[in-house]
Every structure is written in C-alpha cells, then in structure tokens.
Amino acid sequence: MKERNFMLNPQSPTPLYHQLAGKLTERIRSGEFPPGSRIPSEHQLCADFAIGRPTVRQAIDLLVRRGLLNKRRGSGTYVREPQQEVALFSLDGTGAAFRDKGLVLETRILEAVKLAKISGDPGNPFEGDSAYRLLRLVLVEGAPALLEDIFLHRLLFKGLDRIDLRGASLSRIAEEDFHLRPTGGKQFFKIEYPNGEYMRLLEIQENTPVLRVDRFLNFQQIENGFFSRLYCRNDRFVFSQPIGGSEHE
C-alpha cells in the first residue's frame, strides 16, 4: 500500500529526511523490504511523499551510513543483509552477542526509566547532575547473566521516559527516535563483590565475585552521553573483548 503524503510532517522540528528515514526503517524492520530487496526509486519516493529529491537522497545516505541500505551503481538501492558482528561500543552490544550465539535471552526492566539526580557516585559522569536511569536484568536460558545499571544524558535523550522500553533495543531507539549513534567510547573492567540487592537479583552467594564493566559512550553532540555499569556473572559465562572491534560473550 502506498504511503500517503501527510505521513511526513513539515511542521515537525524533526527534519523531513529523518522522518523519511524512519519510515523506510519501519518497512525494513517489518519485513516489507526484506534483505536483498530493492527499495522504491528516488523518483517514486519523491512522488509518494511529495518531497524533493535532495530530501530523499539525504534519507537514503543516512540509512547507508547506518548500514541498512547499500547503493548499487546503475541498479538502485538495496536492503543490506543483517551484519553478524556486534559493534564494540554499542548500546545493546552485550545482549546482541548472546542472541548471536543462539541463546534464549530475556531482558527484564526492574526499574522503569526515570530522570534521577545522581549523587554519591564519583565514577559516574553524571555525578552532581540529573540523568535518565534504567535498571534491567538479562537472563540467558532462564538464569540471570548480567545486571545493567544504565544512565543517559537528560538532553540528548529528552522524553525517553515516555517511550515503552519493554523488549526494545536501545540502539534502535537512539537512532530512530533521537538520531544518535555512538562515535566512540571506553570501557573499564574490574572484579567486584556486589551488595545484597544485586546479589539477590543475580542469584549469587555472598562473596561471589562478578565482572564489573563500566562503559562510557560518546556522541557527536557530547562526550560521555551514555554510561552503564554492568555486573556480569563470570561463573556461567566467559566474557571477552577481541581487539578486532567486536564484542562477544
């Protein structure tokens, strides 16, 4: 069914090319445009959405940079096959690595995302300021594997608390709702003995060590716009980080 012209809103603060990119992404995610298929031509998209060719080209170029589309000279623009490797600095890299290995993954949101004042945590880049906070537990094959305490910049992710995150990908939300993609970051590793509440959530015994990973992600607009503290049960899984630029567990 053809998209209607009013589906793009010229009065929205979101640029038209971002809106069009979002519509095309929805079609790709839904399977309407499966991997390997050709999307409508620039001319057809211009007609469907009553927009100019420069806007269409900007939207397509954006999706090419995101790795969703591939241009073929003289042939058209095609949906790329899903990438198999997990990006090192991905908002969802850890969970994605479990899924890539064919393991049954369940993510439970323990505390709904909310804007919180961060204090008493000098290692947190949002110390003394407010940030969106999300606490979630990842279960693999029905057993707790890691606990994620996540903090997101209050301006970059403004309105995040109004989005239903159950079963959602943070990476996808960052790209499609906020037009954000990490440009780099850093990670620090240490062995830690969690407190009573985290022990209970991870279902571990007292004095059981876990791997703690502090992850900082940068965006074009700001450094350290995302921070997470992961507590990983290394008694069940071996966590590694190849130098080649992907992350596997």
Q: What is the pLDDT of residues 172-201, one digit of tens each?
A: 888 888 888 888 889 899 999 888 889 999
pLDDT band at 97 (very low <50, low <70, confident <90, very high): low
Residue with tokens 């990842």: 138
When pLDDT is averaged across residues 163-174 and rounded to a whole number, the result is 84
pLDDT at position 88 is: 36
**Are residue 221 and residue 128 in the same domain, yes or no?**
yes
In this structure, are residues 60 and 42 in contact, taking their beta carbons and an 8 Å threshold? yes
Residues 109-140 pLDDT 10s: 998 899 999 999 989 999 999 999 999 998 88
Any idea what the CATH number is for the domain that residue 35 is in?
1.10.10.10
Residues 76-93 pLDDT 10s: 999 988 654 334 344 555
DSSP 13: S
Any idea what the CATH number is for the domain that residue 185 is in?
3.40.1410.10
**Are residue 228 and residue 136 in the same domain, yes or no?**
yes
In this structure, are residues 172 and 93 in contact, taking their beta carbons and an 8 Å threshold? no
Residue 247 lies in a domain: no
Instruction: Please give the angle made by the CA atoms of 58, 68 and 158, to the nearest 5 degrees.
Output: 70
pLDDT at position 66 is: 76
105: pLDDT strictly greater than 90: no
**Are residue 43 and residue 70 in the same domain, yes or no?**
yes
pLDDT at position 3 is: 42
In this structure, are residues 111 and 135 in contact, taking their beta carbons and an 8 Å threshold? yes
Residue 65 lies in a domain: yes
**Are residue 107 and residue 183 in the same domain, yes or no?**
yes
For residue 216, report the phi and psi dihedrals to the nearest 5 degrees.
-115, 130
pLDDT at position 98 is: 57
CA dist 149 and 54 (Å) reads 41
Q: Which domain, by its residues, includes 58?
A: 5-79
Taking all residues of the chain, what is their mean pLDDT, rounded to a whole number? Answer: 83
Q: How many structural domains compose the chain?
A: 2
pLDDT at position 111 is: 87
pLDDT at position 112 is: 86
CA dist 231 and 194 (Å) reads 8
CA dist 210 and 145 (Å) reads 10
